[in-house]
Amino acid sequence: MRVGDVAADLYGRTPAQFVAARNEQVRAAKAAGDMKLAADIAALRKPTVAAWTVNMLVRAAPDEVAALLRLGADLRTAQRELSGKQLRSLTAQRRQVVDALAARAGAVAAEHGQPATDAVLRQVGETLTAALADPEVAERVRTATLASAANYAGFGPVGPDLAVVREDEDAAGAGDKPRGRRAATNRPRAKRSDDEQAQHRARREEELRAAQRRARSALDAAEHDARQAAEELRRSEGRLAELRAELAAAEEHHRFAQQAERAARRDVRSATTELERAQRKSE
Protein backbone atom coordinates (compact mmCIF):
# COMPACT_ATOMS: atom_id res chain seq x y z
CA MET A 1 0.00 0.00 0.00
CA ARG A 2 1.21 3.52 -0.83
CA VAL A 3 0.61 6.71 1.11
CA GLY A 4 -1.10 8.17 -1.98
CA ASP A 5 -3.71 5.41 -1.90
CA VAL A 6 -4.33 6.02 1.80
CA ALA A 7 -4.55 9.79 1.24
CA ALA A 8 -7.08 9.30 -1.56
CA ASP A 9 -9.29 7.38 0.87
CA LEU A 10 -8.81 9.66 3.88
CA TYR A 11 -9.42 12.93 2.04
CA GLY A 12 -12.69 11.54 0.73
CA ARG A 13 -14.01 11.44 4.30
CA THR A 14 -15.55 14.30 6.24
CA PRO A 15 -13.23 16.29 8.54
CA ALA A 16 -15.03 14.75 11.54
CA GLN A 17 -14.18 11.24 10.33
CA PHE A 18 -10.61 11.99 9.23
CA VAL A 19 -8.60 11.64 12.45
CA ALA A 20 -10.13 8.32 13.53
CA ALA A 21 -9.70 6.87 10.03
CA ARG A 22 -6.10 8.12 9.83
CA ASN A 23 -5.24 6.60 13.21
CA GLU A 24 -6.69 3.29 12.09
CA GLN A 25 -4.53 3.35 8.96
CA VAL A 26 -1.45 4.18 11.07
CA ARG A 27 -2.13 1.19 13.32
CA ALA A 28 -2.59 -1.06 10.28
CA ALA A 29 0.71 0.07 8.77
CA LYS A 30 2.53 -0.51 12.06
CA ALA A 31 0.96 -3.94 12.40
CA ALA A 32 2.25 -4.73 8.90
CA GLY A 33 5.74 -3.64 9.97
CA ASP A 34 5.90 -0.65 7.59
CA MET A 35 6.99 2.09 9.96
CA LYS A 36 7.80 4.58 7.17
CA LEU A 37 4.29 4.28 5.75
CA ALA A 38 2.89 4.67 9.27
CA ALA A 39 4.89 7.89 9.73
CA ASP A 40 3.82 9.23 6.31
CA ILE A 41 0.17 8.54 7.09
CA ALA A 42 0.45 10.15 10.52
CA ALA A 43 1.80 13.29 8.83
CA LEU A 44 -1.35 13.72 6.72
CA ARG A 45 -3.21 16.78 7.96
CA LYS A 46 -6.89 16.88 8.71
CA PRO A 47 -8.64 18.86 5.95
CA THR A 48 -10.41 22.12 6.65
CA VAL A 49 -14.07 22.31 5.66
CA ALA A 50 -13.19 24.37 2.57
CA ALA A 51 -10.47 21.90 1.51
CA TRP A 52 -12.82 18.96 2.01
CA THR A 53 -15.46 20.74 -0.09
CA VAL A 54 -12.97 21.15 -2.96
CA ASN A 55 -11.98 17.48 -2.65
CA MET A 56 -15.63 16.46 -2.91
CA LEU A 57 -16.11 18.73 -5.93
CA VAL A 58 -13.20 17.05 -7.73
CA ARG A 59 -14.65 13.60 -7.01
CA ALA A 60 -18.12 14.66 -8.19
CA ALA A 61 -17.08 16.69 -11.26
CA PRO A 62 -13.60 15.54 -12.35
CA ASP A 63 -13.99 16.55 -16.01
CA GLU A 64 -15.05 20.12 -15.21
CA VAL A 65 -12.20 20.58 -12.72
CA ALA A 66 -9.69 19.06 -15.17
CA ALA A 67 -10.83 21.55 -17.84
CA LEU A 68 -10.31 24.40 -15.38
CA LEU A 69 -6.79 23.19 -14.54
CA ARG A 70 -5.91 22.91 -18.23
CA LEU A 71 -7.07 26.48 -18.63
CA GLY A 72 -4.69 27.50 -15.84
CA ALA A 73 -1.71 25.94 -17.59
CA ASP A 74 -2.65 27.67 -20.84
CA LEU A 75 -3.18 31.05 -19.18
CA ARG A 76 0.23 30.90 -17.49
CA THR A 77 1.78 30.54 -20.95
CA ALA A 78 -0.51 32.94 -22.77
CA GLN A 79 -0.07 35.76 -20.26
CA ARG A 80 3.39 36.51 -21.65
CA GLU A 81 2.04 37.24 -25.12
CA LEU A 82 -1.64 38.16 -25.10
CA SER A 83 -2.80 41.76 -25.38
CA GLY A 84 -4.34 43.40 -22.36
CA LYS A 85 -7.82 43.28 -23.89
CA GLN A 86 -7.60 39.57 -24.68
CA LEU A 87 -6.19 38.74 -21.27
CA ARG A 88 -8.99 40.64 -19.53
CA SER A 89 -11.56 38.72 -21.59
CA LEU A 90 -10.08 35.34 -20.66
CA THR A 91 -9.78 36.39 -17.02
CA ALA A 92 -13.49 37.28 -16.95
CA GLN A 93 -14.35 33.88 -18.41
CA ARG A 94 -12.11 32.23 -15.85
CA ARG A 95 -14.01 33.96 -13.04
CA GLN A 96 -17.34 32.73 -14.45
CA VAL A 97 -16.14 29.13 -14.50
CA VAL A 98 -14.65 29.39 -11.00
CA ASP A 99 -17.91 30.86 -9.68
CA ALA A 100 -19.92 28.08 -11.36
CA LEU A 101 -17.67 25.38 -9.89
CA ALA A 102 -17.83 26.98 -6.44
CA ALA A 103 -21.64 26.86 -6.62
CA ARG A 104 -21.44 23.23 -7.72
CA ALA A 105 -19.13 22.53 -4.76
CA GLY A 106 -21.75 23.94 -2.40
CA ALA A 107 -24.38 21.61 -3.86
CA VAL A 108 -22.05 18.61 -3.57
CA ALA A 109 -21.26 19.44 0.08
CA ALA A 110 -25.00 19.71 0.85
CA GLU A 111 -25.56 16.30 -0.76
CA HIS A 112 -23.04 14.88 1.72
CA GLY A 113 -24.87 16.45 4.66
CA GLN A 114 -22.35 19.29 5.09
CA PRO A 115 -23.96 22.54 3.82
CA ALA A 116 -21.28 25.11 2.99
CA THR A 117 -21.39 28.65 4.35
CA ASP A 118 -20.69 31.71 2.23
CA ALA A 119 -17.23 31.95 3.83
CA VAL A 120 -16.44 28.35 2.87
CA LEU A 121 -17.60 28.88 -0.72
CA ARG A 122 -15.47 32.01 -0.94
CA GLN A 123 -12.44 29.94 0.15
CA VAL A 124 -13.37 27.29 -2.42
CA GLY A 125 -13.32 29.92 -5.18
CA GLU A 126 -9.99 31.30 -3.94
CA THR A 127 -8.50 27.80 -3.90
CA LEU A 128 -9.63 27.06 -7.45
CA THR A 129 -8.15 30.39 -8.58
CA ALA A 130 -4.88 29.56 -6.80
CA ALA A 131 -4.80 26.20 -8.58
CA LEU A 132 -4.83 28.03 -11.91
CA ALA A 133 -1.62 29.88 -10.99
CA ASP A 134 0.24 27.41 -8.75
CA PRO A 135 1.08 23.95 -10.19
CA GLU A 136 1.54 22.49 -6.68
CA VAL A 137 -1.93 23.58 -5.61
CA ALA A 138 -3.26 22.35 -8.96
CA GLU A 139 -1.85 18.86 -8.26
CA ARG A 140 -3.43 18.81 -4.81
CA VAL A 141 -6.74 19.79 -6.35
CA ARG A 142 -6.42 17.26 -9.18
CA THR A 143 -5.77 14.39 -6.75
CA ALA A 144 -8.49 15.61 -4.33
CA THR A 145 -6.04 15.59 -1.42
CA LEU A 146 -6.22 19.20 -0.24
CA ALA A 147 -5.69 19.71 3.49
CA SER A 148 -6.27 23.47 3.56
CA ALA A 149 -7.63 26.23 1.37
CA ALA A 150 -5.24 28.29 -0.77
CA ASN A 151 -5.26 31.79 -2.18
CA TYR A 152 -3.30 33.73 -4.77
CA ALA A 153 -3.06 37.50 -5.00
CA GLY A 154 -2.35 37.67 -8.73
CA PHE A 155 -2.27 35.33 -11.71
CA GLY A 156 0.62 33.78 -13.56
CA PRO A 157 4.39 34.06 -12.98
CA VAL A 158 5.78 37.13 -11.25
CA GLY A 159 9.09 38.50 -12.48
CA PRO A 160 10.88 40.27 -15.33
CA ASP A 161 9.92 37.56 -17.82
CA LEU A 162 6.26 38.53 -17.56
CA ALA A 163 5.40 40.68 -20.59
CA VAL A 164 1.76 41.53 -21.24
CA VAL A 165 1.51 43.50 -24.43
CA ARG A 166 -1.15 46.24 -24.33
CA GLU A 167 -2.88 47.71 -27.37
CA ASP A 168 -1.35 51.18 -26.88
CA GLU A 169 2.13 49.62 -26.76
CA ASP A 170 1.41 47.81 -30.02
CA ALA A 171 0.60 51.12 -31.70
CA ALA A 172 3.56 52.97 -30.17
CA GLY A 173 6.05 50.29 -31.15
CA ALA A 174 4.90 50.03 -34.75
CA GLY A 175 7.06 52.92 -35.86
CA ASP A 176 10.19 51.60 -34.15
CA LYS A 177 10.34 48.25 -35.98
CA PRO A 178 13.37 47.74 -38.21
CA ARG A 179 12.78 48.08 -41.90
CA GLY A 180 14.19 46.09 -44.76
CA ARG A 181 14.67 42.42 -45.53
CA ARG A 182 14.93 41.35 -41.86
CA ALA A 183 11.58 42.92 -40.95
CA ALA A 184 9.99 41.39 -44.02
CA THR A 185 11.34 37.99 -43.03
CA ASN A 186 9.84 38.30 -39.52
CA ARG A 187 6.34 39.18 -40.71
CA PRO A 188 5.28 35.68 -41.89
CA ARG A 189 6.54 34.21 -38.63
CA ALA A 190 4.58 36.79 -36.65
CA LYS A 191 1.50 36.05 -38.77
CA ARG A 192 1.77 32.33 -38.02
CA SER A 193 2.20 33.10 -34.31
CA ASP A 194 -0.91 35.31 -34.33
CA ASP A 195 -2.90 32.59 -36.10
CA GLU A 196 -1.76 29.96 -33.61
CA GLN A 197 -2.65 32.21 -30.70
CA ALA A 198 -6.09 32.87 -32.19
CA GLN A 199 -6.70 29.14 -32.62
CA HIS A 200 -5.44 28.50 -29.11
CA ARG A 201 -7.75 31.14 -27.64
CA ALA A 202 -10.69 29.78 -29.63
CA ARG A 203 -10.11 26.30 -28.21
CA ARG A 204 -9.83 27.63 -24.67
CA GLU A 205 -12.97 29.72 -25.05
CA GLU A 206 -14.87 26.68 -26.32
CA GLU A 207 -13.66 24.65 -23.33
CA LEU A 208 -14.83 27.42 -21.02
CA ARG A 209 -18.23 27.54 -22.71
CA ALA A 210 -18.48 23.74 -22.42
CA ALA A 211 -17.63 23.94 -18.72
CA GLN A 212 -20.26 26.63 -18.27
CA ARG A 213 -22.84 24.50 -20.07
CA ARG A 214 -22.04 21.55 -17.83
CA ALA A 215 -22.26 23.74 -14.75
CA ARG A 216 -25.63 25.14 -15.89
CA SER A 217 -26.86 21.61 -16.60
CA ALA A 218 -25.82 20.51 -13.13
CA LEU A 219 -27.56 23.54 -11.63
CA ASP A 220 -30.75 22.83 -13.61
CA ALA A 221 -30.69 19.20 -12.44
CA ALA A 222 -30.17 20.27 -8.84
CA GLU A 223 -33.04 22.78 -9.05
CA HIS A 224 -35.28 20.11 -10.61
CA ASP A 225 -34.42 17.70 -7.78
CA ALA A 226 -35.08 20.44 -5.24
CA ARG A 227 -38.51 21.13 -6.74
CA GLN A 228 -39.37 17.43 -6.70
CA ALA A 229 -38.20 17.13 -3.10
CA ALA A 230 -40.31 20.16 -2.12
CA GLU A 231 -43.37 18.63 -3.81
CA GLU A 232 -42.76 15.30 -2.09
CA LEU A 233 -42.41 17.12 1.23
CA ARG A 234 -45.71 18.92 0.60
CA ARG A 235 -47.45 15.61 -0.15
CA SER A 236 -45.90 13.99 2.90
CA GLU A 237 -47.00 16.84 5.15
CA GLY A 238 -50.54 16.57 3.74
CA ARG A 239 -50.61 12.82 4.31
CA LEU A 240 -49.18 13.30 7.81
CA ALA A 241 -51.99 15.75 8.61
CA GLU A 242 -54.55 13.20 7.38
CA LEU A 243 -53.01 10.44 9.46
CA ARG A 244 -52.96 12.67 12.53
CA ALA A 245 -56.67 13.44 12.01
CA GLU A 246 -57.41 9.72 11.60
CA LEU A 247 -55.40 8.95 14.73
CA ALA A 248 -57.29 11.60 16.70
CA ALA A 249 -60.62 10.13 15.51
CA ALA A 250 -59.47 6.60 16.34
CA GLU A 251 -58.38 7.68 19.83
CA GLU A 252 -61.76 9.35 20.39
CA HIS A 253 -63.54 6.21 19.20
CA HIS A 254 -61.34 4.16 21.51
CA ARG A 255 -62.32 6.34 24.48
CA PHE A 256 -66.00 5.89 23.64
CA ALA A 257 -65.51 2.14 23.36
CA GLN A 258 -63.78 2.05 26.75
CA GLN A 259 -66.60 3.99 28.33
CA ALA A 260 -69.20 1.68 26.72
CA GLU A 261 -67.29 -1.37 27.91
CA ARG A 262 -67.14 -0.05 31.48
CA ALA A 263 -70.86 0.74 31.40
CA ALA A 264 -71.62 -2.75 30.08
CA ARG A 265 -69.59 -4.33 32.88
CA ARG A 266 -71.52 -2.29 35.43
CA ASP A 267 -74.77 -3.51 33.87
CA VAL A 268 -73.52 -7.10 34.04
CA ARG A 269 -72.65 -6.73 37.71
CA SER A 270 -75.98 -5.10 38.46
CA ALA A 271 -77.89 -7.82 36.60
CA THR A 272 -75.89 -10.51 38.40
CA THR A 273 -76.74 -8.96 41.75
CA GLU A 274 -80.44 -8.81 40.88
CA LEU A 275 -80.38 -12.43 39.77
CA GLU A 276 -78.78 -13.55 43.00
CA ARG A 277 -81.40 -11.66 45.04
CA ALA A 278 -84.20 -13.24 43.06
CA GLN A 279 -82.72 -16.69 43.59
CA ARG A 280 -82.45 -16.19 47.36
CA LYS A 281 -86.05 -15.05 47.60
CA SER A 282 -87.24 -18.10 45.77
CA GLU A 283 -85.49 -20.51 48.12
- Domain check: are 30 and 68 in the same one? no
Residue 126 lies in a domain: yes
Residue 23 lies in a domain: yes
Q: How far lies 165's CA from each of 72, 86, 154, 192, in Å?
A: 19, 10, 17, 18
**Helix or strand or coil: residue 159?**
coil
Residue 220 lies in a domain: no
CA distance 204 to 189: 23
Number of independent structural domains in the chain? 2
Q: What is the pLDDT along the chain (283 residues), one digit of tens a residue?
A: 789 899 999 998 989 999 999 999 999 999 999 999 999 999 999 999 999 999 999 999 999 998 888 877 767 666 666 556 656 666 777 788 898 999 999 999 999 888 999 999 999 999 999 888 888 899 999 999 999 998 875 544 433 333 333 333 333 444 444 444 444 445 555 556 667 777 777 777 777 776 676 666 566 666 666 776 777 777 777 777 778 877 877 777 787 678 878 878 888 888 888 888 888 887 7
Give residue 180's region: left, alpha or beta (phi > 0; psi -120 to 50): left
- Domain check: are 93 and 19 in the same one? no
Which residues are within 8 A (CB) of 275 and not within 5 positions of it... i.e. 6 or more apart? none
**Helix or strand or coil: residue 145?**
coil
- Domain check: are 64 and 136 in the same one? yes
Residue 203 lies in a domain: no
Residue 197 lies in a domain: no
- Domain check: are 13 and 101 in the same one? no
- Domain check: are 74 and 123 in the same one? yes
- Domain check: are 78 and 118 in the same one? yes
Other Cβ atoms closer than 10 A to 130: 21
The residue among 150, 172, 194 that closes a domain is 172
* pTM metric for this prediction: 0.52
Residue 68 lies in a domain: yes
- Domain check: are 23 and 55 in the same one? no
Range(s) of the domain holding residue 9: 3-42
